[in-house]
Each structure stands twice: as structure tokens, then as C-alpha cells.
Structure 1
Amino acid sequence: MYSILLSAGWPIWPLLIISIIGLAIVIERAWYLRQIHIFPKDSLETVFGLANAISQQKTVSEAEIAAIGQLSPVGSLFACILREKASGCSADSALEELQASAQSTWLKLERYLGVLATIATVAPLLGLFGTVVGMIEIFGSQGVGSPQQLAHGISIALYNTAFGLLIAIPALAAWRGLRAMANQRQHECEEFTRQLFKKLYPHSADTK
């Protein structure tokens, strides 16, 4: 494998770098977007337990609400609603704050996915570029040459294209899968948030 990398020329090294970056993103996002990470065990029970206490006008400390925000990546969303209700804010005010908090939460779920999509798009182009550079170098150095040497040089140059496709295809599949996971977690979070909002503001309009 190392001999192939050396013989393919310098254009293959950027491909190797972005393949490592892409693999790191796939592993990190797959770990981050696990349901148990977004919604840890007993976390929702804790959230709705505090919501019950606030609805019954029991005293809930800021430390308890802040702890909700540290439970998971979407905890700040739940903490926002609880804090607004505990402060006596209206449903409209709470909804406005909730929407602002939701934007940053969704960005957390989709973090790095744009980079992965870019890798899937750019990798074949880098591979093609490497092949073209290799062909130029082959014809420039060998001229007419023997057919055997020319064929060998072309096959080496084509390693760049093959490597680019080898990166792009899994990266594209991973991007689609991770994007689906992020959308699913967002949908689940929206549903839990809607239920929490209705519990704290039972007379308000449905939130969407």
C-alpha cells in the first residue's frame, strides 16, 4: 500500500489527508448522535419531574435547572423552557426564547456534516486532478517511449482516480446516514420539547 502511495505521486497525499478527516468525522458523529447520548437514561424523567414541581409552584433552584442543561447536548433546550416558566414569563416570551435556543441546538446536531458532504464531492475531483497531473508527467518524461512503460505509467496515474472514488462513495453513504440520524434526533427533541411546553403552558397554542 505504501509503495502505491509513493508511486501515485504527490496528488494522492491530499486525498489521504481528507480520508483521515472524513473517517474522524464519521466516527465522531456516529458516537455523538447515538440516542443514549442525546437522551441519556432517566434524563427525560428528571426534566418532567422538574416541570411538575414548577407547575405545582414548588421552589426549583437555578442550580437544578442549570444541571438539566448539562445532561445532554439538547439539555439547554429543556433548561430554557424550565427557566422561562420558573421566572414567570409568558408563553409567548418562552416560545421566543425556545426558538432561539433551538437554532443553536440543531447546529450542534448537524456539526461537521457539511464538511463530510464536501469531502464526498471533492474527493473524486482531487483523484481526477491527480490522474491528469500523472498523465502530463508521464507523457512529458517518456515521450513516445515503449507501450509497456506507457501503460504502466498510466495505470499508476489512475490510482489517484480510484482512491478518490474509494473515499467519495463511503463518505457520501455516511453523510446520508448521519444526516438521517441527525434529522431523527431533531424530530425526537422537537416532540419532547412540545410535550414539555404543553405541560408548563397548558393553555397556550400548539408549538411548531
Structure 2
Amino acid sequence: MVPILICSAVALAIILERFWTLRRKAVIPPELGEQVMTWARTRKLDPKHIEALRQTSPLGELLAAALLVRHRSRDIIKERVEDTGRHVVHQLERFLNTLGTIALISPLLGLLGTVFGMISMFFAVMVSGVGDPLKMAGGIGEALVCTASGLCVAIPAYFFHRYFRGRVNDLVIDMEKQVIALTDELSMASEAAPARVAG
């Protein structure tokens, strides 16, 4: 039961932390994408702006990565954003593997506790005989509590593991849309600049 209780406490801590960290307004602050697009159009892109943007949120980190190489080709911008994106997704998925592991091992820990309980009960029967059937039934019931406890930890842990995976995927798709819009804006700006010079 002790390992199951530890798993339960760790799972609860991860679930609460992920709920706080994966809030939409924390990952994708409202109006941030439009604000950065305005900066790109008006050329208000000094290094301090970009560094402050990088610190704001995961979306800000991706947009800042694109802005740092805004004068390069679209392929280089895309490559930089993809490199940064892998790091951002890793941060968004932080602790989810642990939560998945807890969902996997909790029933096994419960089953292991039940098996140990049954073994000790049968050893007691070998030493003192069958004795009172009510005591045997009570011992079996106590052993099965481990299995029930393991399942009670595993089911919510598995549910929230799947839920947070889906939430991360939704957030990543929304961030990709904002980054693509910014990349298009930067590409149009870089194409317009030579045209103005030629004119």
C-alpha cells in the first residue's frame, strides 16, 4: 500500500501542476500573435523586444525564434522554429511520461500487494490450520484492498495522461497556426524590401 500511496500523491501533484501550466492563456496569451505581427509590419523589433517576447510564454518563445532569423530565407526560419518547437513541446509534455508510468504500474503494485497478502495468509493457514472461515474471508478482503487501491490510482492517472496529451496537441496546433502566419508576414516583408529598393 505504501508504494501505491506514494504513486497517488505524485500523480495528484503532476495533475495539479499540469492544469496550472497548460492553461491556454499561459501557453498562448491572447492577442500576442497579433501584437507580434504588428511589430513585424512596423519593424519594431529590437533585441530587447525579442528577448522579452521569448520569456513571456511557449508561443512567445516560438515567435521569438522566427524573429531572430527574420532576415534569412523562409526555409531557415522554418528550421529554427522547428528546433525551438521540439524544446517547447518537451516542456509542455513535462511529467506526462511519469503520469503514464504511474497509470501503468499502479494496478501491478496492487496485484503484487494482493499476492503477498494471499501468500502470508496461506502461510498462516499452514501453521495454524483453517481455523475461523470468517478470519480467512477478512484476510482475503484485506488483500484485495491493494488491487482496488491500485486501480483507483491507475484509472484517474490514465484518464488525465490522455487528457493532457490531447491538450498539448491542441495547443501545439494553435501555436503552429500563429507561427505560420508570422512566417508568411516576414516572407512578404522580405520580398517587399528588395522591390522597394529596386523601385
Instruction: Please indicate, yes or no, whether the TM-score normalized by the shorter chain is above 0.5.
Output: yes
Letter of the 1:63 partner, please give it. K
Q: CA deviation at 1:53?
A: 2.4
* Selected match of 1:181 from 136, 152, 167: 167
- TM-score, structure 2 as length reference: 0.88
In 2: Cα distance, 1:164 partner to 1:79 partner? 45
For the residues of structure 1 that align with 2:48 and 2:189, how far apart are their CA atoms?
28
- Whole-Å separation in 1 of the counterparts to 2:26 and 2:131: 60
Q: Hey, what's the Cα distance between the residues in 1 that align with 2:79 and 2:34?
A: 25
Q: For residues 86-136 of structure 1, what are the alpha-carbon distances to aligned partners after superposition, in whole Å with 9 as ceiling and x for unaligned? A: xx2222222221111111111111111111111111110100000000111
**Where do 5+ consecutive residues of structure 1 fail to align?**
1-11
Q: Residue type of the partner of 2:69?
A: E
- 2:36 is aligned to 47
Alignment of 1:72-151 (within 5 A): 72-85=57-70, 88-143=71-126, 144-151=130-137
Confirm or deny that 1:156 pairs with 2:142: yes
What's the offset of the Cα at 1:160? 0.3
Match of 1:4 in 2: none
Q: Does residue 63 in structure 1 map to residue 52 in structure 2? A: no
1:22-41 superposed Cα distances (whole Å, 9 cap, x missing partner): 11111111111111111223
Contact 2:41 2:189 survives alignment (8 Å) = no
- 2:197 corresponding residue in structure 1: none
Q: CA deviation at 1:203?
A: 8.7
Q: Secondary structure at the match of 1:145?
A: coil
Asked whether the equivalents of residues 43 and 71 of structure 1 are also in contact (C-alpha less than 8 Å), the reply is no
Q: Deviations over 1:148-179 (max 9, x none)?
A: 11111110111100000101111111111111
Query: Alignment identity in percent?
Result: 38
User: Structure 1-normalised TM-score?
Assistant: 0.85
For the residue of structure 2 that corresponds to 1:66, the secondary structure is: helix
The answer for unaligned runs of 5 or more in structure 2 is 191-199
Q: Which of the pair is proportionally richer in helix? A: 2
Report the RMSD for the aligned CA atoms in angstroms.
1.6
Distance 1:118 1:100, change over 3 A: same
Q: How does 1:18-57 map to 2 (within 5 A)?
A: 18-54=7-43
